[in-house]
Structure 1
């Protein structure tokens, strides 16, 4: 009888070990699933944060550049006023008209600057990012690649090119 009890105890121990082994396998499987789900959560959260930041940036860009089309439509008006201010005033009446045009130009530029529009610098070297070279000229007075003449002023809106400056450059 003692041998039957020992066999029964061994069988019970084997069943317990098998149950423990199955529980350990379940725990390992659950830990693996937890790791996968945690990884998916972190990735989804990171994707959401990236999307949120991108939407915020797009919203800021829309606000920053919302006046771009309107400002672009006003540039020919400024060009025409500047051409009008370029004449030589001979009498007192013409001088007053020229002065009024210049004041209008200054007010126009102040209003545009208030909304992020600024004139592109045309002093010095040609920059293909903001200048549009429409011709090359021979010039002993300028280094090669330097801007010789400005045909049309260029403008930026909040650092982005609204209209490139049309220039001629030295050979």
Structure 2
């Protein structure tokens, strides 16, 4: 009996589904041709508007990319201008020292060279350059380039004993590691 009841329920559901589908067709059929054409025209206009907005957005993005590339190229071309402006007084002092070498003694030339060195260091320090401290520090392969090991009774093992060439960093980036001798 339960099986019969289930079959009857399924048949009733099928009849209801067919009836609602026929009702939907009737509603669709009841829409006039003019209403359907108006709907198609509205959807076509909406699609055209979306296409136009898409093309404008694409053009804006292409312009943004082009401007960004131009700004990047310009920045790269003129990035060193500030540093060069800082170094021009150093160049002037060098020229004055070179002009005076024929008329002065060695001490005057040495004083001029020391002035040039100080001016150069001040200009580079303004740009973030800093010397890497090496002698007496533990050896760090990120900061030091160890070229030889020496025996040292004064320093613990793996300590920088002598700096052969000064190392520099700009902010936190190592520009050139210090060339050092390290104790064994």
TM-score range, shorter chain: 0.3 to 0.5
TM-score by length of 1: 0.48
Larger Rg: 2
